[in-house]
Amino acid sequence: MLASIRGKVVERSEFTAVVECNGFGVEVLLTRRAAERCELGTQVFLYTLLQVGDAGIALYGFADDTERRTFKLMILTKGVGGKAAISILQYLSPAEIVAAVEQNDIRLLTSVPGIGKKTAERICFELSDRIHKKGFIQLTGEFHGAPAGDRQEAASVLDALESLGFDRASAVRAYKSVVAEQEEALGESEAIMSCLRILQPRK
């Protein structure tokens, strides 16, 4: 399994990057968040998944393991291949996908180019059990039951804290503490700073 790639971005299009690694240029198909990290000429680290099929070989790139695990679950759905799954992640976050499945939000899924009503219905039907059986709710920030917008913010805050080197469990504890102390909703940046004050207390 090609689990990750690190190298210099030498070519870019909207959702594709060529990453130079050990003298080889590797084409990677990207999620939206992964694409945001791939600035031309910069070093990048991506989580990856290699898929081999009748259509050929494709390497998919993800901003974090949450996106990759989301992708893996989606391609278990009948009729949903790698290209469809990556397309969904180019327009929706893992938190939004979980919310769509839980709420049977066909309209949100069909807002993704190339995803028709039948495919959206199949995703909602087949993933509704899997997201619970596989603990998939944990992927969206460990805040099942919160509104979709809150879960999306939680996922973004936790991903940011992980990118700064904090482990997931510590990040979750800090975020829950911040949320519990606030009477009004915080913005994403404010939430990250509040978490950092907990995780990195001044001496």
- Six-digit token pair at 164? 């700064």
Instruction: Tell me the CATH class for 66-139.
Output: mainly alpha
* CATH number for region 4-62: 2.40.50.140
Q: Do the beta carbons of residue 92 and residue 57 sit within 8 Å? A: no
pLDDT at 144 over 60: no
State the pLDDT confidence band at 140, using cuts at 50, 70 and 90: low
Sign of CA dihedral 70, 151, 153, 93: positive
State how beta strands 24-30 and 56-62 pair: parallel
* Residues 51 and 66: beta-carbon distance below 8 Å: no
pLDDT at 143 over 90: no
Q: What are the structure tokens assigned to 127, written together?
A: 């993933």
| CA-to-CA dists, residue 51 to 61, 95, 194, angstroms | 11, 24, 40
Return the minimum-mean-pLDDT range out of 91-95, 151-155, 179-183.
151-155
Instruction: Please check the confidence at residue 150 and state whether its pLDDT lies above 80.
Output: no
The CATH 1.10.150.20 portion of the chain extends over: 66-139
> Tokens standing for 21?
């690694």
| Residue limits of CATH 2.40.50.140 in the chain | 4-62
The reported pTM is 0.68
Backbone angles phi, psi at 125, to 5 degrees: -70, -50
